[in-house]
Structure 1
Amino acid sequence: MLTGVATRYDLLCEACADLDAPELLDACAGCFDRAEADADLGWRGTPGILRHDRDLGGAWTTTACPVTPLNDHCLAPLPDGWLALTAEGLVEIGGEPRPIGPVDVPPEPPGEWAGHVRGPALYTSGDGRFAAVVTDYGRYGAVVDLASGAVTLALDRQDYHADTTRFPVAFLDAGAGPLVVAATGWNRLDVFDAATGRLLTDRVTSHEENPEHYFDYFFGALRPSPSGRVLLVDGWAWHPVGVPLALDCEAWLAGERHAPEHGRMLADRGYCWNRPMAWIDENTVALQGIGEDEPMLDGVELRDAGADRRIGMFAGPAGQMWGHRGLLYVTAEAGFEVWDPAAGARIGFAAGFRPTAHRDGTFAELGNDRLRIWSSAR
């Protein structure tokens, strides 16, 4: 039962929750935690949303740019600009837009699952050499060399329940050049050399041949930690339940072949996945949606990526989000929000600005023949 003060709440049985003035008892932390862990919890009441808005500061620029991304997931950062996926193909945006050309990804029929519409998405490597064009809630994708426009790797995660998750793909920076992590099946991730498409993680994962390392899990969106050592995974397992994971990429690339099959579970969220998530810092992740089951509260749960425990939560954020130097940035329906996770409060807002891409504290909105950018002072 939410008290209306931030996300503070009392723990009540259903019968007491129906009373106008239930009698509350004090309990020690251990008893409270056990009761909470054993309960099938839902929310009642309304949380308090803390807003301590101040001037955003930073720098704004707006330039003419007659380039139209296919959707809100089709703009991605480059070291000195942006890359857009348009109806004509990839376009590099720095000064004058530079067409790179179409990308050969097998077409897929229109589809929708639980309100999530199948469509294209775009990712770029940190050095700006490569891009991945994939079909979210679909099967196929491709890695492209942006200098030549050539496809270096065709992606196929097969079609078993592919319509339930975003396409799992992410770039990792390595000393010898960028690597790309991508799903090659519903329950399997692999690492490839982005330049050559060479598989670097050959192993056996089938239940028949290697039951010890079989993983009954549907991989979804991937988000590397700031250092790239850990991979945050959004996915689900039967019954179904959303299960965000932390995968040790450093150990995987160092030779621990089955690291992806033994990720650390960060939460158990009934029927809840395909929600925005972000890294606050190297050890803390933000998962959008507060609770253990649908319907969830609009807001963020902070999780310790190394210890599988909730370390905070605050109400309010709803929309695409990014972490940068300890703050959380959210593209909400009304505009752009800056949140301080330590205080659990919104500390800045820009009405009408709805960026869809981020690079090191710089946020970009591309549409209506203009490119609008805000750069943080942090």
Structure 2
Amino acid sequence: MVNTLPCGHPGRAGSLRLCPHLAVEEPPPSTRHLTGVGTRYDLVCAECTPAALVDVCEACADRADQQSFPSGWHGEPEVLVRDRDLGGAWSTRACPVRPLNDDCLAPMPGHWLALTAEGFVRITDDDQWLVGPVELPEETYEDIRDIPDRPRRGLHTSRDGRFAAVVSDYGQFATVVDLDDWLTVLDLDRDWMDNELTRYPLAFLGDGETAKVVAATDWNRLDVFALPGGELLTDRETAAPQKDEPEPEHYLDYFQGALHPSPSERWLVTDGWAWHPVGIPLAVDLAAWLDGDRHAAEHARHLADRDDTWDTPIAWLDDNTVALQDTDGVELYDAGTGRRTGMFAGPAGRMWGHGGLLYVAAEAGLEVWDPAEGVRVGFLEGFTPIAHREGTFAELRNDQLRTWTTPR
């Protein structure tokens, strides 16, 4: 005999408990009450207390979790730590190269590229040399908020190492350089509207004959360009609405932010925001966009409402699972469905995904997390890398290049 649960349905109980008012087709708003075990929580509506919670079936629990728009937390999460010896290989050598900031060291095949006050510098295992200078236009500080250390330079490199981009993070301009021929192949301008709140949206795609760059060409628009010629591949109409007229079908009222392509470049997550303001990471079907769906970038999948949180670390764990960091830890989302698939407390700092694990450059050192269990499994005290290349992490400071490579 199958037991009937308090929600009125038979079957297995879901992974969280609810007050009875939430076990309905259209649940009211709720708050999350942490249980003290990891990040497990229950849902409670405004009329109830945790004493009223009941077990419900998996379908009712899932519907309430997805549709009751939980906001706010009660209690504290449990940070799970089970550190073990990480092994791996270390290397340290003298390297008197000084990047402009921690966003100005980027991976190249077999080596690194730094952006310094003098320009691009190539860094190998035993040498470094100046490639040449690069400049961006002066910013036009119209209607800009006075935020310290903004704008500032950032560096991006293509997978094959042929192209590099210097961007004005929290600013207006970017330029793409062909390092093989030492030519500027593309100058970009996203206008000045509230750009001091987001990093410059830019990411390289493909390599060799398929090389491309996707970047912001306005505050609310992304475009893709072929390289090295710079041909626009995404010509389309995205006009703003006229006064007292409804918004056009393909108008996007959204401030684009940092771009994060998935490993196979099927998806592109953009870390942007919308009024009033609220952080809303979007997942663009990049494959469909490049295959002829002209407005895929304007009709991206909504991953989460993050209140006033955006411009935080993001990393891909595999080609569908993206990790979004906020002040409480990390939430995992499936880019294809938009559903949250996990969450855990603890990580705080720049993130990289590699081999199914999450690597976090925390203030005290490099942390290694197992997202499947939500557990920290390793810690390298005092090592705070600023770049990653295929399992090798690099720290460049105090005139030393220090790297750690994960076990093969």
Q: Give TM-score scaled by structure 2 length.
A: 0.85
Structure 2 gap ranges (5+): 1-32
- Maintained 8 Å contact 1:355/1:365: yes
Q: 1:115 to 1:244 in 2, by over 3 A?
A: farther
Q: Which residue of 1 is the match for residue 395 of structure 2?
A: 365
Amino acid at match of 2:257: G
Q: Percent identity?
A: 60
Amino acid at match of 1:8: R
Q: Give TM-score scaled by structure 1 length.
A: 0.91
Structure with more relative contact order (C-alpha pairs < 8 Å, separation 6 or more): 1
- Maintained 8 Å contact 2:160/2:208: no
Q: 1:115 to 1:274 in 2, by over 3 A?
A: farther
Q: Equivalent of 1:63, from 93, 101, 107?
A: 93
How far does the alpha carbon of each residue in 1:320-368 deviate from its partner, in whole angstroms, 9 at most, with x for none?
0011121101000110011110111011100010001111111111111
Shift of 1:15: 8.0
| DSSP-derived class of the 2:249 partner | helix
- For residues 189 and 338 of structure 2, the distance between their equivalents in structure 1, rounded to whole angstroms, comes to 31
- Maintained 8 Å contact 1:143/1:194: no
Amino acid at match of 1:179: K
Matched positions, count: 367
Q: Which residue of 2 is the match for residue 2 of structure 1?
A: 34
1:25 paired to 2:53: yes
- For residues 63 and 89 of structure 2, the distance between their equivalents in structure 1, rounded to whole angstroms, comes to 49
Amino acid at match of 2:132: G
Q: Equivalent of 2:220, from 178, 184, 187?
A: 187
Q: Which residue of 1 is the match for residue 369 of structure 2?
A: 339
Shift of 1:31: 4.6
Amino acid at match of 1:223: H
Q: Which residue of 2 is the match for residue 293 of structure 1?
A: none
- Maintained 8 Å contact 1:112/1:118: no
How far does the alpha carbon of each residue in 1:111-133 deviate from its partner, in whole angstroms, 9 at most, with x for none?
76677732110000000001010
- Maintained 8 Å contact 1:113/1:164: no
- For residues 123 and 142 of structure 1, the distance between their equivalents in structure 2, rounded to whole angstroms, comes to 10
Amino acid at match of 2:223: D
Moved more, 324-333 or 143-152: 143-152
Q: Which residue of 2 is the match for residue 105 of structure 1?
A: 136
| DSSP-derived class of the 1:250 partner | helix
- For residues 116 and 255 of structure 1, the distance between their equivalents in structure 2, rounded to whole angstroms, comes to 40
- For residues 257 and 148 of structure 1, the distance between their equivalents in structure 2, rounded to whole angstroms, comes to 32
| DSSP-derived class of the 2:51 partner | coil
Structure 1 gap ranges (5+): 290-295
| DSSP-derived class of the 1:371 partner | strand
- For residues 173 and 121 of structure 1, the distance between their equivalents in structure 2, rounded to whole angstroms, comes to 20
How does 1:270-309 map onto structure 2 within 5 Å? 270-289=307-326, 296-297=327-328, 299-309=329-339
Amino acid at match of 2:309: C
Q: Equivalent of 1:356, from 379, 386, 392?
A: 386
Shift of 1:227: 0.7
Shift of 1:216: 1.1
Amino acid at match of 1:2: L
- Maintained 8 Å contact 2:83/2:376: yes
- For residues 112 and 312 of structure 1, the distance between their equivalents in structure 2, rounded to whole angstroms, comes to 36
Q: Which residue of 2 is the match for residue 292 of structure 1?
A: none
Moved more, 210-219 or 308-317: 210-219
1:153 paired to 2:186: yes
- For residues 108 and 101 of structure 1, the distance between their equivalents in structure 2, rounded to whole angstroms, comes to 22
How far does the alpha carbon of each residue in 1:195-233 deviate from its partner, in whole angstroms, 9 at most, with x for none?
122222111111359912111111100011111121111
Shift of 1:32: 4.5
- For residues 272 and 288 of structure 2, the distance between their equivalents in structure 1, rounded to whole angstroms, comes to 21
Amino acid at match of 1:348: G
Shift of 1:13: 5.1
- For residues 323 and 112 of structure 1, the distance between their equivalents in structure 2, rounded to whole angstroms, comes to 33
- For residues 190 and 257 of structure 2, the distance between their equivalents in structure 1, rounded to whole angstroms, comes to 11
> RMSD in angstroms over aligned alpha carbons?
2.1
- For residues 175 and 103 of structure 1, the distance between their equivalents in structure 2, rounded to whole angstroms, comes to 23
Moved more, 313-322 or 200-209: 200-209
Q: Equivalent of 2:102, from 46, 65, 72?
A: 72
| DSSP-derived class of the 2:340 partner | strand
Q: 1:115 to 1:275 in 2, by over 3 A?
A: farther
Shift of 1:136: 0.7
